[in-house]
Amino acid sequence: MKRLLSVFLLTALLLTGCNTADVATNSEATASSGAVAPPATGNPPATTLPPVTTVPPVTTVPPATTVPPVTAVPPATTKPPVTTKPPATTVPPVTTNPPATKPLADPVQVYLSSMTLKQKVGQLFAVAPEQLLSKYSAVTKVTDALKDGLTKYPVGGIILFSENVISPDQLSVLNRELKAASGIPLFLGVDEEGGRVARLANNSAFDLPKYESAASVGASGNPEDARLMGKTIGAYLKDYGFNLDFAPVADVNTNPNNPVIGNRAFSSDPVIAAKMAAAFSEGMEEAGIISTFKHFPGHGDTAEDSHSGLAVNHKDRQTLESCEWLPFLKAGSNDMVMVGHIALPEVTGGMTPATLSYEMVTEILKKDLGFSGLVITDSMQMGAITDSYNSGEAAVAALKAGCDIILMPNDLPSAFNAVVDAVNNGILSVQWLDSTVTRILKFKQTHGILTF
């Protein structure tokens, strides 16, 4: 405003200067004429001051308000590109950790995939150590010949008998060396029922608890007695390196003329026999030993001994379900069931041993009775088998019937090679073989025999 005022005054002075000159001129003229000079009317031009109001151009200061360009800082706000960090949000690949879940792959399946055909077939056999030698000789220690036999026939299990047991120290070393000699962890089993069948307790070199018989324990009718019996036997078997016992005898001793079972059974009462067998198995499990319920479908009411010939039970299915089969209903997924060489003509309509019968093993034991553990045959060296079948056909027939493990074929090389050929020829499918071996390996894993 001061600037505008200065301009205004300057303009006024300039205009006034011009008017003063005019006044001087007029005064002289007046003086010369002697007339009185009229008022200086020449001042009206001073009223031309309005032009001064053209100062508005100064008000063109608005350009200074064109600061908006400064507000053109928006370019700086073009940082969105920085917010285009979506690429960083492509972290999903990290969440695509499915590869990291690979450790969750079933170790048994991984293990299975590394096995050869011979190793898989080997898991289907449990044998006496002597069967691994080209020339029979009672095995009391692991020799190079025995190691070679295990390499040639990589069986899944070994059963020891009295001739293999000399002393506590010798037995411990034998079992330890057997485990070390096998590429795939072994079932190491023995018949230790308590009573007349006890390979360790009945050996004078061992100071172990002895039982008169299963029947004497079962006489109390108290399952706790049987549980303690199983736990006691299981504890000393564990100490000597075993992981499997072919006990309890789950037969019901209903035939007093039976030549093979008798007091090996807990009772002639099926309910008591079932409770006692189940309790014995519980005690064994507490000690870390696998139980084997034997001899399905029941050897207690046969007049024959399957060791020397085919045993026959003439009962019908309804009777068997209410008696002989009750104890086998107690066998669980962590147990084994041993199938005996017993024919049931009133059930199957024929004289085929249960060991080789699909109806008895798969349809009845596994499906109808719901048994989901492992099924093992009784010794295939018994007369009930060798009288009518060669080792190869008996082994294949037992596997087709639904048995998981062949115990002691009469001729191991023949039986082993017959199973290999059956797989190669499609008589036994590769899918079946893998499925069966997987179940055996998982069973071993469950019991801490196979670890990863």
- 314 a catalytic residue: no
Residue with tokens 């085919």: 310
Q: How many CB atoms lie within 10 A of CB 42?
A: 15
How far is the CA of 385 from the CAs of 121, 210, 390, in angstroms? 21, 33, 8
Residue with tokens 């992981």: 243
SS3 content of the chain, % helix, strand, coil (to 5): 55, 10, 40
User: For residues 117 and 281, what is the distance between their CA atoms, to the nearest angstrom?
Assistant: 34
Q: In the structure encoding, which two tokens stand for residue 187, read together? A: 């079932």
User: For residues 196 and 210, what is the distance between their CA atoms, to the nearest angstrom?
Assistant: 10
Question: Phi first, then psi: what are they for 232, rounded to 5°?
Answer: -65, -50
C-alpha gyration radius of the chain = 53
Pairing mode of beta strands 125-127, 244-245: unpaired
Burial tier of 414 (Cβ tally within 10 Å: 0-12, 13-18, 19+): middle
For every residue of 37-85, DSSP letters joined together read PPP-TT-GGGGG-GGGGG-GGGGG-GGGGG-HHHHT-HHHHT-HHHH--
Q: In the structure encoding, which two tokens stand for residue 153, read together? A: 């026939």
Torsion angle, alpha carbons of 357, 245, 328, 446, to 10:
-90
- 378 a catalytic residue: yes
Which residues, in sequence order, are bridge partners of residue 338? 294, 376
Query: 269, 305, 307, 434: which is the annotated catalytic residue?
Result: 307
Query: 245, 378, 404, 411: which is the annotated catalytic residue?
Result: 378
Q: In the structure encoding, which two tokens stand for residue 68, read together? A: 């908006």
Reading phi first (left if > 0) and then psi (alpha if -120 to 50, else beta), residue 208 is in: beta
Catalytic positions, please?
307, 378
